Structure 1
Amino acid sequence: MATLELRNVNKSYGTGLADTLKNIELSIGSGEFLILVGPSGCGKSTLMNCIAGLENISGGAILVDGADISGMSPKDRDIAMVFQSYALYPTMSVRDNIAFGLKMRKMSAADIETEVARVAKLLQIEHLLGRKPGQLSGGQQQRVAMGRALARRPKIYLFDEPLSNLDAKLRVEMRTEIKLMHQRLKTTTVYVTHDQIEAMTLGDKVAVMKDGIIQQFGTPQQIYNDPANLFVASFIGSPPMNFIPLRLQRRDDQLWALLDSGQARCELPLGDMPAGVESREVILGIRPEQIQLAGEGGELPSIRAEVEVTEPTGPDTLVFVNLNQTKVCCRLAPDQAPPVGATLSLQFEPSKVLLFDAQSGERLLPGKSRSAAEPAGNVTQLKTR
């Protein structure tokens, strides 16, 4: 196990070209599982290659256990990497693929056999040791690629989108296997993915990237519940967060956000917001599971809206209504789902409503700035008319 720290890491491919990585600052503790997540081209694989030593950084430092490894060659960093393409030797057996790195390190034949047996048992591939990669399924090949990395017992494991070539069912199974493996080995791990479900389920810490910049770094719960900006809020979550455009109004020394379903209107009184915010275009964010059916005699006022589309998923049903001429998704239990054309009374979970500046995408925080660990609370109560 080892700590990993990135200090102001930059990467550029030439003078006059935009930096691929910009002032990357990250720190993960010994045994933690870090997820680098973001859309294609955001720089996450480049950052992974820089940690591995496959790419040289243009500035900053990469430290393992406090020692700067930025100038070391890949073989001296004691880091093992699992590639998206598996990169298995097609003419070698599974046993020889796993043992290859150990032979290069000149381990004894007995020690190599012991290590191969250990890894094969861990990954449940003992029965595959005599086969060639061409005789294996995609999931089996991925296990062998992981086994080759595990056999080295490095300080840090790097996974570069290892499940992207697998079908959906196998991806879920392998995701569970990777998590179980980390719980058993407790080796510091960095995992690159564009799949936000993998990010939420696997990581102890998540770094969301866009255009070579870390937009937010925190636990999965912090990223999900308290996104730093519009991009993070839209990228993390399935189904995604609802975004409703509106303008704020000031009346009686109080800021109000107005929602209109075509059947009814709902005014949301807001807390202490930055001065002049009523002059901006604002986007209200609310997750589908945080829009609830209004109960009988409930304390929160509600808004009536017509059901336009329903999408049963099994464990729940996604119901779509229209607010401020925007399609809004509500996640309801199957037995609560109404037919298309029915009218629902909906209420928002006040403490979960978020506000974003429509131009910059930044969060509008009430009062003074809060840490990412604190809950987001922008709405105090609801009122309809």
Structure 2
Amino acid sequence: MATLELRNVNKTYGAGLPDTLKNIELKIDDGEFLILVGPSGCGKSTLMNCIAGLESISGGAILVDDSDISAQSPKDRDIAMVFQSYALYPTMTVRENISFGLKIRKMPQADIDTEVSRVAKLLQIEHLLDRKPGQMSGGQQQRVAMGRALARRPKIYLFDEPLSNLDAKLRVEMRTEMKLMHQRLKTTTVYVTHDQIEAMTLGDKVAVMKDGIIQQFGTPKQIYNDPANLFVASFIGSPPMNFIPLRLQRKEGRLVALLDSGQARCELPLAMSDAGLEDREVILGIRPEQINLASGVDTGQPTLRADVQIIEPTGPDTLVFVTLNQTKVCCRMAPDEAPQVGESLNLQFDPARVLLFDAQTGERLGVVGKPQTQARGDNVAQFKGR
């Protein structure tokens, strides 16, 4: 196992070109599972290649166990990488693919056989050892690619979107296998994905990237419950967070957010530091599961009557869509609570679960008792017209 630290890492492909990676600062401890997540083109695979040594960095430092490896060649970094394309040798059997790297390192044949058996048992591919890649399914090939990396027993494993070529059912199965594998091996791991479900379920720590910048770094729970800006809030969560544009008002000495369904209004009192927020345009964020059906019992929480426009049954949940402030809003409900299209519902909101973002910058507005975080980059344009 090993620690991994990135200090102010930058990457550019030439003078006059924009930086692909901008001042990346990350640190993970022995045995942690780090997820790099973000949309296509955000720089996450480039960062992975820089860690592996497949690409050089333009500035900063990459440290393993506090030792700078930035100038080392890939073969000297003791890092194993699993690619999206599997990259298996098509003319070799599974046994030969797994053992190839060990033979290059001139390991004794008896030790190679022992290591191949260990990895095959770990990944449950003993029955595939004499097959070639063309005789196996995508999921089986992915296991072999993982086995080739595992056989090296490196300090760090790197996975570059290893499940993206698999069908949905197999992705879920392999995701579970990877988590079990990490719990058994406890090897420091960096995993690149654009799938936020993988990010939330696999990672001990998550780094959300956009335009070569780390937008937020923290645990999955922190990323989900306390997103740093509009981009993070929108990217993490399925279905995504609702964003409702409005203007803050002051009523009886308190800041309130006014919600309008077209047939009724309600005021959400906000526990916000009010410096400069009155009459300010903001975007209110609330997750679908945090909008509940009013039970009829007075909880003191604001309620609002709204008409159901669309329902989407998903099996374990039903997504119910209403319009608030001329914006489509999703509510997640249990199937036995699901209404019919056209039905009116009394919805209940918990003001303590509401997040506010600046409508111009995308910056998360500070909540009383919590530090204010800064948005990075242009996180607002995509929300115009919602």
Calculate the TM-score normalised by the size of structure 1.
0.95
Match of 2:129 in 1: 129
List per-residue Cα deviations over 1:118-141 (Å, max 9, x = no partner).
100100001101011000100000
**Could you tell me which residue of structure 2 aligns to residue 203 of structure 1?**
203
Offset, 1:271: 2.4
Match of 1:342 in 2: 343
- Kindly report which structure 2 residues correspond to 1:5-154, keeping only aligned pairs within 5 A, or say none: 5-154=5-154
Q: Which moved more, 1:361-370 or 1:211-220?
A: 361-370
Alignment of 1:356-367 (within 5 A): 356-367=357-368
* 1:367 shift after superposition: 4.2
Which stretches in structure 1 are left out of the alignment for 5+ residues?
Answer: 373-385
1:268-347 correspondence runs (5 A): 268-299=268-299, 300-347=301-348
Code of the residue aligned with 1:340 in structure 2: it is V
Q: Give the match's secondary structure for 2:278.
A: helix
Opposite residue 366 of structure 2, the aligned amino acid is L
Contact (CA 8 Å) 2:39, 2:194: kept in 1 or not? yes
State the shift of 1:274 in Å. 4.6
**8 Å contact from structure 1 (residues 274, 364) kept in 2:** no
Q: How many residues align?
A: 372
Q: CA deviation at 1:263?
A: 1.2
> 1:375 is matched with which residue?
none
**1:351 positional shift:** 1.5
What is the CA distance between 1:172 and its match in structure 2?
Answer: 0.4
Aligned-pair distance for 1:279? 4.2
2-structure distance, mates of 1:11, 1:274:
40
Give the Cα–Cα distance (whole angstroms) in 2 for the partners of residues 256 and 287 of structure 1.
19
CA displacement, residues 96-116 of structure 1 (integer Å, 9 cap, x when unaligned): 000000000000111111100
In structure 1, the partner of 2:214 is 214
Name the stretch that deviates more: 178-187 or 363-372: 363-372
Question: Structure 1 CA distance, aligned partners of 2:230 and 2:259?
Answer: 19
| Residue aligning to 1:382 | none
* Matching residue's letter, 1:254: R
Give distance in 2, aligned partners of 1:248 and 1:3.
45
Q: By how many angstroms is 1:342 displaced? A: 0.6
Contact kept, 8 Å, 2:267 with 2:302, in 1: the verdict is no
Aligned residues with identical type, % of pairs: 82
Distance 1:239 1:214 in 2: 23
Give how far 1:262 is off.
0.8
Q: Distance in 2 between matches of 1:190 and 1:274?
A: 41
Judge conservation of contact 1:274–1:365 (CA < 8 Å) in 2. no
Q: TM-score, normalised by structure 2?
A: 0.95
Per-residue Cα deviation, 1:259-304 (whole angstroms, up to 9, x for no partner): 0001110111222335222343210000000101111122223100
Contact 1:205 1:220 in 2 (8 A): yes
What amino acid is aligned across from residue 50 of structure 2 in structure 1? C
| Shift in Å, 1:237 | 0.2
Q: Distance in 1 between matches of 2:253 and 2:187?
A: 55
Contact 1:274 1:367 in 2 (8 A): no
Deviation digits for residues 34-67 of structure 1 (CA, Å, limit 9, x no counterpart):
0000000000000000000001001111000110
Task: Give the AA of the match of 1:243.
Answer: F
Cα distance in 1 for partners of 2:64, 2:289 equals 40
The alignment partner of 1:278 has SS state of coil
Amino acid at match of 1:65: D
SS at match of 1:80: strand
